[in-house]
């Protein structure tokens, strides 16, 4: 009986270790895909805005709005289909993901606007000095929020 208890305990410990390794590897893959998707969205946003304004001759404000809208659609699509892809269904239906995504995107925009409107004058620096660390910090927060609250799987295959 002691042997069976020890064997069961060892199985649980080794399984837990294996689960942690799988989770860690998947987290790294998701992180890589998140950064790659961000780079693609950056290129879409800047490329669209610049192309429309400089090549086609669309007024910059209109080009910026079109570029931003296309970037948001691209970002949502890449997050849903590429970054957080999984073998199981998502916990949330598409319309709930869209609503939560819009809340995250709106919150990020509002925080970025508030931070860049207040901190530069308080510290006597240019807005870019505040903007860049803000983007890095909020990108990390967004990774965690999108992973756990918007695009999470219906079931966690490692803990069934």
Q: Is residue 5 part of a domain?
A: no
Average pLDDT value for the chain:
85
Residue 79's CB is within 10 A of a number of other CB atoms, namely 24
Q: Is residue 125 part of a domain?
A: yes
- Together in a domain, 96 and 80: no
Which residue, 69, 85, 101, sits at the end of a domain? 85
Q: Is residue 16 part of a domain?
A: no
d(CA 32, CA 109): 23
- Would you state the pLDDT for residue 14? 55
Q: Is residue 10 part of a domain?
A: no
d(CA 27, CA 88): 16
For residue 154, pLDDT over 90 is answered with: no
Q: How confident is the model at residue 8 (pLDDT cuts 50, 70, 90)?
A: low
CB–CB of 72/105 below 8 Å? yes
Which residue, 85, 109, 127, sits at the end of a domain? 85
- Together in a domain, 151 and 93: yes
Mean pLDDT of 78-107: 92
Q: Is residue 2 part of a domain?
A: no
CB–CB of 120/126 below 8 Å? yes
Q: Is residue 42 part of a domain?
A: yes
- Together in a domain, 39 and 77: yes
Three-state secondary structure call for residue 153? strand
Which range marks the domain in which residue 150 is found? 89-155
Q: Is residue 39 part of a domain?
A: yes
Nearest of 66, 95, 91 to residue 153 by alpha carbon: 91
For residue 3, pLDDT over 50 is answered with: no
**Count of domains observed in the chain:** 2
- Together in a domain, 104 and 138: yes
Which residue, 85, 104, 124, sits at the end of a domain? 85
- Together in a domain, 115 and 134: yes
Q: Is residue 9 part of a domain?
A: no
Q: Residue 68 corresponds to which tokens in the numbers above?
A: 């931003």
- C-alpha count within 13 angstroms, C-beta hemisphere, residue 129: 9
Three-state secondary structure call for residue 35? helix
């Amino acid at each position: 009986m002691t042997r069976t208890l020890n064997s069961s305990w060892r199985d649980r410990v080794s399984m837990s270790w294996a689960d942690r390794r799988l989770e860690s590897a998947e987290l790294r893959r998701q992180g890589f895909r998140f950064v790659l998707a961000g780079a693609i969205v950056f290129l879409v946003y800047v490329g669209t805005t610049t192309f429309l304004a400089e090549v086609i001759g669309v007024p910059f404000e209109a080009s910026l709005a079109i570029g931003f809208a296309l970037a948001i659609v691209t970002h949502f699509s890449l997050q849903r289909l590429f970054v957080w892809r999984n073998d199981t269904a998502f916990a949330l239906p598409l319309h709930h993901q869209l609503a939560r995504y819009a809340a995250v995107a709106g919150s990020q925009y509002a925080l970025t606007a508030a931070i860049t409107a207040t901190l530069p004058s308080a510290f006597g620096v240019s807005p870019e000095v505040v903007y860049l660390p803000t983007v890095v910090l909020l990108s990390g927060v967004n990774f965690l929020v999108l992973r756990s609250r918007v695009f999470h799987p219906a079931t966690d295959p490692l803990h069934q």
